[in-house]
């Protein structure tokens, strides 16, 4: 479903060239639950930005559902982000002035759905994450775990091709973190592809495929192997 | 403290600073030009009309019954007699107008007869008798006042102009620009061919129209005119004016029922009315200048506070690295000075430009040389004051911020 | 989508009370200053007879000094002589015509103990009222016969009628002026043209006269003109007769012509008349007649003071300062909202969608600023009224009409949108990744 081939991302300033990603290649099939781990500075954040079309790649190709989306213009990329990708951020990033219902509503507004369709999707997703009883609450009135669930509902509402999660439990305590991970597993088992970027091995465990990023390159395989190798190197 | 790094740091984040600089520029432009206008108008309003304004008042007598010419003369003589004998009255005169009245009589005078063309100079005319000079309280600086014999009644159907006149110094300078000697004894021509011999010169007596270019040019004419509408001007002893006004009005209303007394007014009121526009403009512009300064200050305070809040981390790091509180304050004051300098230089150019346009289009006076520098210094000071508050707050940011992860 | 943007705008404004209020205040003050001056200028330059503007013409003939124009560069005098005005009136070549001058009389009201008072009066030929669409409450003006027969008739203004007759229908009643008895034939309704376009030579904002009487009667009675009076050479003979026959100008003349073609015809007639007079030794200057519509005449007379234009220039600059303030405040707001922007971009909003969202918000601030600006303008006008309190007629100059109100709001919205352009553009350039703090 998702295919990156030989992707490079180079940050250039007047004096310095940083190769954040070098010849990065990756294929993700439908229904996979992929974790991407690596130490800081490895390029996993860059990978996330590229995968989520938040930044443009310097060279290589990025195909989604067979369509080359590496060289779209801004408007087209916005459309793809809106329709095909669901974001889940470490710091939830809910809009504080909007209530739960309206927060989940945000990406739908840019799709042009009518009110009934939006309501159907929003309530459906809130149901799925177990927050259908609190549509009028504001983020400030919810716990961290609940806020992350709202964010997940928001990510799901547009029926995206895959969820892109950045350290989804980073700001949660163990108990909430577990329930969020359970939810993600559930969602994946129901058929949604998930790509999760994290530096915690325990999270990576939950995925059914592990990728390891180091110095801008990606490697397949269980993380312990790579961490061991790194430690010995 | 080195300006270099401050300048380079500013360059990387231009938007906020450009806004402040622009605001200062436009504010300077407005303030400088407004001040120029205020100055000009204040100057106009301060001009001396030549008469003893504090103690002089005027009114009109309007005959509505048919009187023969001789009867009208008698009435005027009686009136003046009555008025002049009231205790507290210095003198009084019947004239056609007085300075700043907004209405009056003007004629062209020329050096040669028969020239009603470009050679003639417009002058205000005041018909008076020998009491006119004392009533108007003018200083005869050369020659002398009219002798009683020189003052005559106008003759019916005869427009010949009286042969004598007293002029203001300004009129003299206009007629004879190169003359260093006396104007007394010279002759000018009025009404095309009628000669007028100058018997005296007064220092100041303004025309009835304060915005006329020839406002300082007047001529006293020794003629009495027996019309149905007569204007009386009365000069009182200091402090007596307010008491005498109703007293004289009542006295004259009672002495003759065939006329009404109206338009009783003091010279102070006349001046106020003449300069209403100027006084109003001064007030309006002063208010605008004040309001503008406040708005610009608030704008600077706002933007500066905002800029400080954006650089909280940077400031904390500087403090952690050893900067003292005064050093932080100085940083912001210098930064503001740089912005002000740029803004005020641009503003000075704009101010001069606007002034040129206004001088062309609306015949304003050009700015005095000191107005722009004064404005620049004043606004710079305002800017520094405005940024002082946010700068103090910045200096109070704890160095501990440096160790906090965002 | 518009409703969504409106909803977001309201939420954003509520969430940033202080900043939003400051923005509204900045716009309101700038609009207030601007609109105060614009209103005064609008009223001063307003044409009270706009609906009839193209049919009325002010007549000027150049009977002036051969060596010197009346006014540079080659302007004819603004009034005409007795000889010319009566001759042209007699010739009757226009649909309607009026000759008039300002004079004064002593009014002697009925009743003991009521003091006589002097009052300004307009001595005019009969067509004045019909030509200038002067509204009557009771009765009407007099006709051409009354003019010719020098009947002692008079028309009163509404307030003069109030003062003398308690506001009743006073037609048919008599009024004593300068010991002569006049019959009231008409009473006007409220009529306050600003400026008094038919006579711009004296104070055009002082309002129309309160009493009207026939021109011919005034001349026979030798009522003096209390308006402007100029002669380039003295009358050849003495006395009133000599004055009437002189080249002194003291009368205003207007004609009503029903269309453009008639204007050509009348202009030709004037030329012919002057050529004729030249044969008699008058009109030494070259042919220089003028026919001006009220609008043209008001411009010619510079009814709108230069001072007002100066103030207008300064007021516009004042608005610019306020807008710069607003831009600064908006920029601050946008930067603070950086998170919201990146988030929406990440969730798939395109740059143009975000642009629209912020422009709508700016529009609402603009509307609020405009409404507040109307209040500021009202305050500003009261200030002007106060500062010019010695001018009795100032209240006529400081009224806001609906046109001005609409302009205030429009100006506010346009200003707010203009101020929002740069900050909003900046906002949309924020990249989706930047402020989301992705680790």
pLDDT tens digits, C386-399: 888 877 777 777 88
Sheet bearing B229-236, strands edge to edge: B89-95, B229-236, B56-63, B259-266
Mean pLDDT confidence for C277-305: 89
**C-beta separation of A49 from C438 below 8 A:** yes
Cα–Cα distance, B344 to B376 (Å, whole number): 6
**Residue among C67, C309, C310 whose CB faces B116 most closely:** C67
> What is the per-residue pLDDT for B278?
87
Touching partners of C (3+ C-beta pairs < 8 Å) = A, B
Mean pLDDT confidence for B389-395: 89
Sheet bearing A33-37, strands edge to edge: A85-88, A162-166, A193-198, A33-37, A209-214, A217-220
Q: DSSP string of B45-92? A: HT---SS-GGGEEEEEEEE-S---HHHHHHHHHHHHHHHHTSTTEEEE
**Residue among A97, A154, A166 whose CB faces C438 most closely:** A166
Cα–Cα distance, B280 to B362 (Å, whole number): 18
Number of Cβ within 10 Å of residue C162's Cβ equals 13
> What is the per-residue pLDDT for C242?
87
Using the Cβ of A90 and the Cβ atoms of chain C, whether some distance falls under 8 Å is answered with: yes
For chain C, percent helix, then strand, then coil, each to nearest 5? 50, 15, 35
Percent of chain C with pLDDT over 90: 39
Cα–Cα distance, B107 to B121 (Å, whole number): 8
Which residues 409-438 on chain C approach chain A with CB closer than 8 angstroms? 431-433, 436-438
Inform me whether the pLDDT recorded for A232 exceeds 50: no
Of B110, B114, B109, B166, nearest to B138 (Cα)?
B166
Inform me whether the pLDDT recorded for C284 exceeds 80: yes
Using the Cβ of B15 and the Cβ atoms of chain C, whether some distance falls under 8 Å is answered with: yes
Cα–Cα distance, B356 to B350 (Å, whole number): 10
> What is the per-residue pLDDT for B88?
94
> What is the per-residue pLDDT for A25?
87
| CA-based nearest distance A170→chain C, Å | 10
Inform me whether the pLDDT recorded for B34 exceeds 60: yes
**Three-class SS state of B156:** coil
Cα–Cα distance, B267 to B255 (Å, whole number): 25
**C-beta separation of B33 from B242 below 8 A:** no
Touching partners of B (3+ C-beta pairs < 8 Å) = C
Mean pLDDT confidence for B117-133: 85
At B159, the pLDDT band (50, 70, 90 cuts) reads confident
Of B74, B277, B63, nearest to C397 (Cα)?
B277
Inform me whether the pLDDT recorded for B402 exceeds 80: no
Cα–Cα distance, B358 to B365 (Å, whole number): 9
Percent of chain B with pLDDT over 70: 97
> What is the per-residue pLDDT for A17?
82
Secondary structure E strands in chain A: 2-12, 17-28, 33-37, 59-64, 67-68, 85-88, 162-166, 193-198, 209-214, 217-220
**Residue among A49, A82, A90 whose CB faces C348 most closely:** A82
Which residues 268-327 on chain C approach chain A with CB closer than 8 angstroms? none
Query: Which of A104-113, A206-215, B98-107, B337-346 holds the top average pLDDT?
Result: B337-346
Chain B contact set for C235 (CB, 8 A): 159
Which residues 62-91 on chain B approach chain C with CB closer than 8 angstroms? 62, 64-66
Percent of chain C with pLDDT over 70: 99
A14 against C375, higher pLDDT:
C375
Using the Cβ of A114 and the Cβ atoms of chain C, whether some distance falls under 8 Å is answered with: no
Cα–Cα distance, C164 to C167 (Å, whole number): 8
**C-beta separation of A162 from A64 below 8 A:** no
Percent of chain B with pLDDT over 90: 53
Inform me whether the pLDDT recorded for C439 exceeds 50: no
Tell me the per-residue pLDDT of C127-158, one tens digit each, with 9 for 90 and over.
Answer: 999 999 999 999 999 988 888 888 899 999 99
Question: Chain C residue closest to A77 (CA)?
Answer: C348
What dihedral angle (degrees, nearest 10) is formed by the CA atoms of C392, C395, C397, C401?
A: -160
> Mean pLDDT of all residues in chain C?
87
What does the DSSP 8-state code read for residue B125?
E
Consecutive H or E run containing B167: strand B164-168
Tell me the per-residue pLDDT of B181-237, one tens digit each, with 9 for 90 and over.
Answer: 899 999 999 877 889 999 999 999 999 988 888 899 999 999 999 988 899 999 999
**Residue among A48, A75, A199 whose CB faces C438 most closely:** A48
Using the Cβ of C14 and the Cβ atoms of chain A, whether some distance falls under 8 Å is answered with: yes
Mean pLDDT confidence for B286-291: 91
At B55, the pLDDT band (50, 70, 90 cuts) reads very high
* Token code pair at residue B372: 């722009």
Mean pLDDT confidence for A33-40: 86
| CA-based nearest distance A228→chain C, Å | 23
Examine residue C57 and say whether the peptide bond preceding it is cis (omega within 30 degrees of 0): no
**Residue among A55, A111, A167 whose CB faces C439 most closely:** A167
Among B324-328, C243-247, C248-252, which is the least confidently predicted range? Answer: B324-328
Cα–Cα distance, C246 to C227 (Å, whole number): 17
> What is the per-residue pLDDT for B406?
44
Inform me whether the pLDDT recorded for B308 exceeds 50: yes
**C-beta separation of C369 from C31 below 8 A:** yes
Are C and B close enough to touch, i.e. 3+ CB pairs under 8 angstroms?
A: yes
At C267, the pLDDT band (50, 70, 90 cuts) reads very high
Cα–Cα distance, B26 to B277 (Å, whole number): 26
Rounded to the nearest 10 degrees, the angle between the axes of helix B276-310 and helix C351-387 is 150
**Residue among C68, C327, C335 whose CB faces B19 most closely:** C327
Using the Cβ of C10 and the Cβ atoms of chain A, whether some distance falls under 8 Å is answered with: no
* Token code pair at residue C193: 């043209």
Inform me whether the pLDDT recorded for A230 exceeds 80: no
Using the Cβ of A79 and the Cβ atoms of chain C, whether some distance falls under 8 Å is answered with: yes
Cα–Cα distance, B75 to B71 (Å, whole number): 6
Examine residue B359 and say whether the peptide bond preceding it is cis (omega within 30 degrees of 0): no
> What is the per-residue pLDDT for A226?
52
Tell me the per-residue pLDDT of C16-51, one tens digit each, with 9 for 90 and over.
Answer: 888 888 889 989 999 998 898 888 888 877 888 888
Which of C333, C341, C348, C429 is the best residue to mutate to test the A interface, defined by the most A CB atoms within 10 Å of its own CB?
C348
Touching partners of A (3+ C-beta pairs < 8 Å) = C
* Token code pair at residue B307: 């800029």
Which residues 193-222 on chain C approach chain B with CB closer than 8 angstroms? none
* Token code pair at residue A7: 């992707």
Using the Cβ of B302 and the Cβ atoms of chain C, whether some distance falls under 8 Å is answered with: yes
| CA-based nearest distance C140→chain B, Å | 28
Secondary structure E strands in B243-342: 259-266
Using the Cβ of B18 and the Cβ atoms of chain C, whether some distance falls under 8 Å is answered with: no
Question: Chain B residue closest to C382 (CA)?
Answer: B284
Q: DSSP string of C87-140? A: HHHHHT-SSEEEEEEEEEEEEE-SSTTPPPEEEEEEEE-TTHHHHTT--EEEE-
Of A154, A88, A86, nearest to A126 (Cα)?
A154
B209 against B115, higher pLDDT:
B209
Are A and B close enough to touch, i.e. 3+ CB pairs under 8 angstroms?
A: no
Mean pLDDT confidence for A154-171: 89
Who contacts C141 (Cβ-Cβ below 8 Å, separation ≥6)? C126, C128, C129, C130, C134, C155, C185, C186, C212
Which of B18, B280, B390 is the best residue to mutate to test the C interface, defined by the most C CB atoms within 10 Å of its own CB?
B280
Using the Cβ of C235 and the Cβ atoms of chain A, whether some distance falls under 8 Å is answered with: no
* Token code pair at residue B141: 């600086």
Among A31-35, A214-218, B345-349, which is the least confidently predicted range? Answer: A214-218
Q: Do B192 and C390 touch (CB under 8 A)?
A: no
* Token code pair at residue C314: 């300064």
Inform me whether the pLDDT recorded for A233 exceeds 50: no
What does the DSSP 8-state code read for residue C348?
T
ipTM surpassing 0.95: no
Cα–Cα distance, A91 to A169 (Å, whole number): 9
> What is the per-residue pLDDT for B118?
57
Strand partners, A21: A9
Inform me whether the pLDDT recorded for B177 exceeds 50: yes
Inform me whether the pLDDT recorded for A228 exceeds 60: no
Which residues 30-89 on chain C approach chain B with CB closer than 8 angstroms? 33, 65, 67-68
* Token code pair at residue C100: 């008039």
> A179: phi > 0 → left, psi -120 to 50 → alpha, else beta; which?
alpha
Using the Cβ of C116 and the Cβ atoms of chain B, whether some distance falls under 8 Å is answered with: yes
Distances (CA, A) of C348 to A75, A79, A98, A110, B184: 9, 6, 18, 7, 94
Whose tokens are 């102070």? That residue is B268
A110 alpha carbon, distance to own chain's centre: 19
| CA-based nearest distance B169→chain C, Å | 26
Inform me whether the pLDDT recorded for C435 exceeds 60: no
Inform me whether the pLDDT recorded for A225 exceeds 80: no
**C-beta separation of C149 from C138 below 8 A:** no
First-to-last CA distance in chain A?
35
Mean pLDDT confidence for B383-390: 91
């Amino acid at each position: 479903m998702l295919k990156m081939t030989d992707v490079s991302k180079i940050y250039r300033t007047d004096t310095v060239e940083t190769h954040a990603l070098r010849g990065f290649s990756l294929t993700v099939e439908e229904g996979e639950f992929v974790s991407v781990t690596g130490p800081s500075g490895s390029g996993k954040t860059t990978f996330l930005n590229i995968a989520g079309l938040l930044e443009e790649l310097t060279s290589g190709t990025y195909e989604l559902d067979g369509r080359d989306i590496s060289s779209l213009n801004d408007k087209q990329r916005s459309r793809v982000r809106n329709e095909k990708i669901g974001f889940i951020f470490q710091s939830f990033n809910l809009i504080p002035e909007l209530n739960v219902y309206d927060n989940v509503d945000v990406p739908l507004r840019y799709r042009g759905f009518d009110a009934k369709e939006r309501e159907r999707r929003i309530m459906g997703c809130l149901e799925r994450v177990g927050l259908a009883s609190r549509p009028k609450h504001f983020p400030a009135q919810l716990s961290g775990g609940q806020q992350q669930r709202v964010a997940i509902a928001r990510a799901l509402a547009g029926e995206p091709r895959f969820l892109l999660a950045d350290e989804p439990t980073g700001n949660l305590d163990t108990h909430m973190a577990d329930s969020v991970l359970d939810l993600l597993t559930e969602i994946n088992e129901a058929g949604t592809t998930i790509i999760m970027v994290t530096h915690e091995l325990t999270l990576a465990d939950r995925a059914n495929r592990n990728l390891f990023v180091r110095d801008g390159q990606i490697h397949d395989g269980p993380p312990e192997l790579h961490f061991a190798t790194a430690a010995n190197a | 403290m080195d300006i270099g790094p401050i300048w380079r740091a500013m360059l990387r984040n231009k938007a906020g600073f450009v806004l402040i600089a622009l605001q200062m520029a436009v504010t300077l432009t407005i303030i400088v030009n407004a001040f120029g206008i205020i100055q000009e108008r204040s100057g106009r309003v301060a001009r001396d009309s030549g008469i003893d304004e504090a103690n002089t008042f005027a009114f009109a007598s309007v005959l509505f019954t048919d009187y023969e010419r001789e009867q009208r003369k008698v009435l005027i003589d009686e009136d003046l007699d009555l008025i002049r004998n009231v205790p507290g009255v210095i003198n009084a005169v019947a004239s056609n107008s007085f300075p700043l009245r907004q209405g009056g009589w003007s004629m062209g005078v020329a050096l040669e007869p028969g020239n009603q063309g470009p050679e003639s100079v417009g002058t205000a005319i005041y018909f008076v008798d020998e009491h006119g000079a004392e009533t108007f309280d003018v200083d005869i600086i050369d020659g002398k006042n009219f002798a009683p014999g020189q003052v005559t009644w106008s003759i019916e159907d005869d427009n010949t102009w009286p042969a004598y006149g007293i002029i203001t110094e300004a009129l003299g300078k206009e007629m004879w620009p190169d003359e260093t000697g006396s104007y007394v004894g010279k002759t000018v021509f009025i009404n095309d061919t009628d000669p007028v011999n100058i018997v005296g010169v007064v220092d100041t007596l303004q025309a009835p129209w304060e915005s006329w270019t020839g406002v300082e040019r007047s001529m006293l004419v020794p003629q009495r005119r027996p019309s149905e509408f007569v204007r009386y001007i009365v000069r009182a002893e200091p402090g007596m004016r307010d008491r005498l006004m109703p007293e004289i009005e009542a006295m004259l209303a009672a002495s003759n029922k065939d006329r009404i007394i109206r338009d009783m007014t003091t010279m102070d009121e006349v001046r106020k009315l003449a300069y209403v526009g100027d006084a109003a403009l001064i007030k309006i512009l002063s208010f605008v200048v004040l309001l503008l300064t406040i708005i610009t200050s608030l704008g600077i305070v706002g933007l500066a506070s905002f800029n400080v809040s954006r650089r909280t981390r940077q400031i904390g790091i500087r403090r952690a690295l050893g900067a003292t509180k005064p050093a932080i304050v100085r940083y912001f004051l210098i930064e503001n000075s740089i912005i002000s300098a740029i803004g005020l230089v641009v503003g000075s150019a704009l101010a001069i430009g606007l002034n040129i346009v206004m001088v062309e289009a609306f015949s304003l006076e050009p700015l005095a040389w000191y107005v722009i520098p004064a404005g620049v210094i004043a606004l710079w000071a305002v800017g520094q004051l405005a940024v002082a508050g946010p700068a103090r707050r910045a200096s109070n940011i704890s160095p501990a911020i440096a160790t906090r992860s965002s | 989508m518009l409703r969504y943007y409106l909803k977001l705008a309201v939420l954003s404004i509520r969430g940033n009370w202080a900043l939003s209020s400051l923005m509204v205040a900045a716009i309101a003050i700038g609009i207030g200053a601007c609109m105060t001056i614009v209103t005064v200028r609008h009223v001063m330059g307003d044409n009270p007879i706009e609906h009839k503007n193209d049919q009325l013409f002010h007549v000027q003939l150049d009977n002036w000094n051969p060596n010197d124009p009346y006014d540079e560069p080659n302007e004819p005098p603004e009034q005409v002589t007795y000889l010319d005005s009566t001759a042209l009136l007699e010739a009757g070549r226009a649909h309607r015509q009026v000759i008039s001058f300002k004079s004064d009389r002593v009014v002697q009201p009925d009743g003991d103990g009521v003091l006589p008072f002097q009052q300004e009066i307009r001595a005019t030929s009969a067509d004045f009222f019909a030509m200038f669409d002067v509204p009557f409450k009771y009765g009407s003006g007099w006709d051409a016969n009354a003019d010719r027969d020098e009947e002692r008739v008079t028309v009163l203004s509404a307030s003069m009628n109030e003062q003398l007759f308690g506001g009743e229908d006073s037609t048919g009643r008599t009024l004593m002026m300068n010991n002569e008895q006049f019959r009231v034939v008409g009473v006007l309704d409220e009529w306050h043209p600003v400026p008094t376009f038919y006579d711009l030579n004296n104070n055009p904002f002082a309002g129309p006269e309160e009493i009207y009487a026939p021109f011919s009667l005034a001349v026979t009675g030798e009522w003096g003109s209390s308006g402007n009076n100029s002669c380039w050479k003295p009358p050849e003979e003495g006395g009133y007769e000599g004055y009437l026959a002189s080249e002194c100008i003291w009368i205003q003349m207007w004609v009503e012509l029903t269309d453009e073609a008639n204007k050509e015809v009348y202009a030709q007639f004037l030329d012919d008349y002057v050529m004729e007079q030249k044969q008699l030794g008058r009109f030494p200057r070259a042919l220089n007649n003028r026919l001006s519509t009220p609008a043209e005449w008001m411009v010619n007379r510079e009814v709108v003071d230069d001072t007002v234009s100066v103030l207008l220039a300064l007021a516009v600059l004042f608005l610019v300062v306020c807008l710069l303030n607003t831009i600064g405040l908006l920029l601050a707001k946008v930067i603070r909202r950086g998170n919201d922007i990146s988030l929406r971009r990440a969730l798939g909003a395109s740059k143009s969608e975000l642009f629209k969202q912020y422009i709508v918000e700016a529009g609402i601030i603009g509307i609020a600023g405009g409404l507040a600006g109307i209040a500021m303008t009202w305050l500003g006008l009261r200030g002007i009224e106060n500062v010019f309190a010695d001018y009795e007629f100032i209240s006529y100059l400081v009224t806001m009409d609906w046109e001005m109100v609409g302009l205030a709001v429009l100006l506010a919205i346009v200003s707010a949108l203009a101020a929002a352009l740069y900050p909003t553009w900046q906002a949309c350039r924020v990249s989706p990744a930047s402020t989301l703090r992705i680790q």
